Amino acid sequence: MTHNLFLISPSHHITISPHHHMNSLKDKVVIITGAASGIGNALAFECANRGAILSLADKNREQLHSTREELVRGGAEVVVTVADITLEGDCKNLIDNTLENYGRIDVLINNAGISMRALFEEVDLEVLRRVMDVNFWGAVYCTKYALPELLKAHGSLAGVSSVAGYKGLPGRAGYSASKFALQGFLEVVRIENRKKGLHVLIACPGFTNSNIRNTALARDGSSQGESPRDEAKMMSAEEVAKHICHAIETRKHRLTLTTQGKMTVLLNKFFPKFMDKMVYNHMAKEPDSPFK
């Protein structure tokens, strides 16, 4: 009889799993960094829809507070912390603030991230440092202080990485390096705690319609401005958030989104040299690409 379970799949978002109910996000305390915009913002609303109790962080005070107001109007329980996650003290403060308000942490989603676009040959090294500080060190600091609580709760640790964490993307040296580092770090934390009931998810969206590229850093560290890609062809941040929440509820280890993202990861495993050429050609087609 049980094999029929797999036929009951009303939409592509819900796959019925024996653990689904047990690991629901309902009443779980969830921390999300970079929650004021993009995927982080979509994650906040998706977690709220699933009944989670939220602790949100962002360095944009205004957007963070308006996100909070909107969520509270919808009936969610939310506490916010204005934090620059490149500062270890701010990350510790985020964890402390969550514990003061809720007494526990069930899920930490390291989502905050920035991108960059410039040839390594031309880029100011400060840009790489900045990207590493946000994408890698921010996740390390938050994880360090949240880990004891996550272990107590047999909770979930998630990192929003990228296909750039599997394949180096030209013009994105700092971004790819930070995502490779993030994935290596999360993998180690998963393996070290494999007998302690900690769940670790490495989530890799493909190109997502979020504002990360509008705020990408140019070679001199200034903001890139206009996104160099066609937003309409991408997966929405809302859809990405649904997939990530489902992967947390079902305790998946890895999530790679979009057909293009999955193909890139798969082909790179077996044909890395061929993929170097493919990725080069694909990225060279971007408007204002720094290489041709």
Spatial distance between the Cα atoms of 54 and 226, rounded to a whole number of angstroms: 31
Q: How many CA within 13 A on the CB side of residue 204?
A: 25
- 223 exposed, middle or buried (CB, 10 Å; 0-12, 13-18, 19+)? exposed
**Could you tell me the CA-to-CA distances from 60 to 7, 20, 214, 285 in Å, in that order?**
44, 34, 15, 33
Spatial distance between the Cα atoms of 40 and 32, rounded to a whole number of angstroms: 7
In one letter, which amino acid is 23?
N
In one letter, which amino acid is 164?
A
Phi and psi at 95, nearest 5°, equal -65, -45
For residue 292 the two structure tokens come to: 């041709």
145 is known as an active-site residue: no
In one letter, which amino acid is 40?
G
Strand order in the sheet with 156-160: 78-82, 53-58, 29-33, 107-110, 156-160, 199-204, 254-256
Strand ranges (DSSP E) for 96-205?
A: 107-110, 156-160, 199-204
In one letter, which amino acid is 46?
E
* Residue 183 host element (H or E): helix 173-192
Spatial distance between the Cα atoms of 198 and 152, rounded to a whole number of angstroms: 9
Of the residues 102, 141, 166, 175, only one is catalytic, namely 175
SS3 state at 29 = strand
Spatial distance between the Cα atoms of 80 and 68, rounded to a whole number of angstroms: 7
Residues annotated catalytic, as ranges:
175
